[in-house]
Amino acid sequence: MALGTVAATRSRRVTLTALGLTVLLLITAQFAVPAEGSAARVLSQSQLPVVVLGWLIGDSVRRGRESAARAQARATEQALTEERLRIARELHDMVAHSIGVIAIQAGVGSRVIETQPEQAREALRAIEATSRETLAGLRRTLVALRRSEPAPTAPAPGLDGIDRLTAATAADTGVRVDLVWSGERRPLPADIELAAFRIVQEALTNVVRHAGAEGCRVEIAYGPEELALEITDDGRGLPEGGTPGAGFGLTGMRERATLLGGRFEAGPRPGPAGGFRVAAALPVGEAATARPAAARPGAGRPEEKR
């Protein structure tokens, strides 16, 4: 029992030394007893397998504890990595969209500041509002990260915010956004709603910043087993020499869909019309029963278009 305790709690080097000394003492004890077959000598011989068995049991316990500690360390490291990636995605989606809007409004203001001062003032107001909103979001995120205890945060954006998002994009950037809902709108799990909102937000950001499009179409379809998203535009498609899927925006959208067990596609639209297409399918199954459907704006309407 003593050797097993040492083997379970000490390093391998210490336990091997203890085992060797114990076996050596038992062998020495056999030679110290001159009478062959005496009770002392028989007892000494019978203790050898017991000692080895005790050491094996203690060593097995130690190895099991070390393996569990390594597994816990790997799980902790993986959780930290996933949390860093989640924070990076959230910050990228939030900042990229706002900076895109600010860049467009700044360009508009610089072109019309002398000829159309009122329009320039509107552009500056939009820049101020977008900047303040983004700074507030960044401040909440950074304060939460610096605190050791969980901090109250604003509700995560979801599908309820898609209408405001598309309306603000059209108003701030001048890009026409057609929003089409199909299927029965109903509450979905929070992670599904957040992923759907961020995918639409990032896709609109890419349209505004890179596509040079006059308009885009956002389709959101509620199905019995999945939520389907499709964002298409009439812009230039893929830049010359560009690679579909390159860049943090498309990578982040693909990661969000993949983490939820969904599918994601992105690439130039076929045909002479050109443009770019982003499509995602997020599984919902039968888990989307968090609250009554009537609690959602527009719930129960089979199709709604703006």
pLDDT in tens, 75-106: 777 776 776 676 666 676 667 767 777 777 78
In the prediction, which pLDDT does 188 show?
87
pLDDT of residue 152: 47
Mean model confidence pLDDT for the chain: 75
Confidence (pLDDT) at 180: 92
Rounded to an integer, the average pLDDT of 160-170 is 86
Percent of the chain with pLDDT over 90: 8
pLDDT at site 39: 52
7-31 pLDDT per residue, tens: 788 787 888 888 788 777 777 766 6
Residue 146 confidence class, pLDDT cut points 50, 70, 90: low
- Is the per-residue pLDDT at 57 higher than 70? yes
Say what the pLDDT of residue 198 is: 87
Asked if residues 281 and 168 have their Cβ atoms less than 8 Å apart, the reply is no
| Per-residue pLDDT, 133 | 75
Give which of 152, 149, 179 is closest to 164, Cα–Cα: 179
**What DSSP assignment string belongs to 225-237?**
SEEEEEEEE-S--
Q: What is the pLDDT of residue 278?
A: 92
The DSSP-derived string for 65-96 is HHHHHHHHHHHHHHHHHHHHHHHHHHHHHHHH
Q: Is 118 exposed, middle or buried (0-12, 13-18, 19+ CB in 10 A)?
A: exposed
Is the whole-model pTM more than 0.75? Answer: no
Q: How much is the pLDDT for 288?
A: 42
Question: Alpha helices, DSSP H only, in the chain?
Answer: 2-9, 12-32, 39-112, 117-146, 162-173, 190-206, 248-259
Residue 247's pLDDT is 56
Tokens 């990260």: give the residue. Answer: 145
- Residue 6 has a pLDDT of 80
What's CA 173's distance to the chain center, in Å? 29
With 80 as the cut, is the pLDDT of residue 306 above it?
A: no
What is the mean pLDDT of the segment spanning 180-209? Answer: 86
Residues 176 and 181: their CA atoms lie apart, in Å, by 17
pLDDT given for residue 237 in this prediction: 64
Q: In Å, how far are 21, 58, 65, 70, 242 from 7, measured between CA atoms?
A: 13, 5, 12, 19, 61
Q: Confidence band (pLDDT; 50, 70, 90) for 60? A: confident
What's the rounded mean pLDDT across residues 132-146?
70
Count of CA atoms in the C-beta half-sphere (13 A) of 16? 3
User: For residue 50, what pLDDT is reported?
Assistant: 77
Q: Given a cut of 70, is residue 51 above it in pLDDT?
A: yes
Mean pLDDT of 164-168: 85
| pLDDT band (50, 70, 90) for residue 282 | very high
Burial (CB count within 10 angstroms: exposed 0-12, middle 13-18, buried 19+), residue 26: middle
Contact in structure between 199 and 170 (CB atoms under 8 Å): no
Q: State the Cα angle at 211 between 207 and 217, rounded to 5°.
A: 45
Query: Higher model confidence: residue 278 or residue 209?
Result: 278
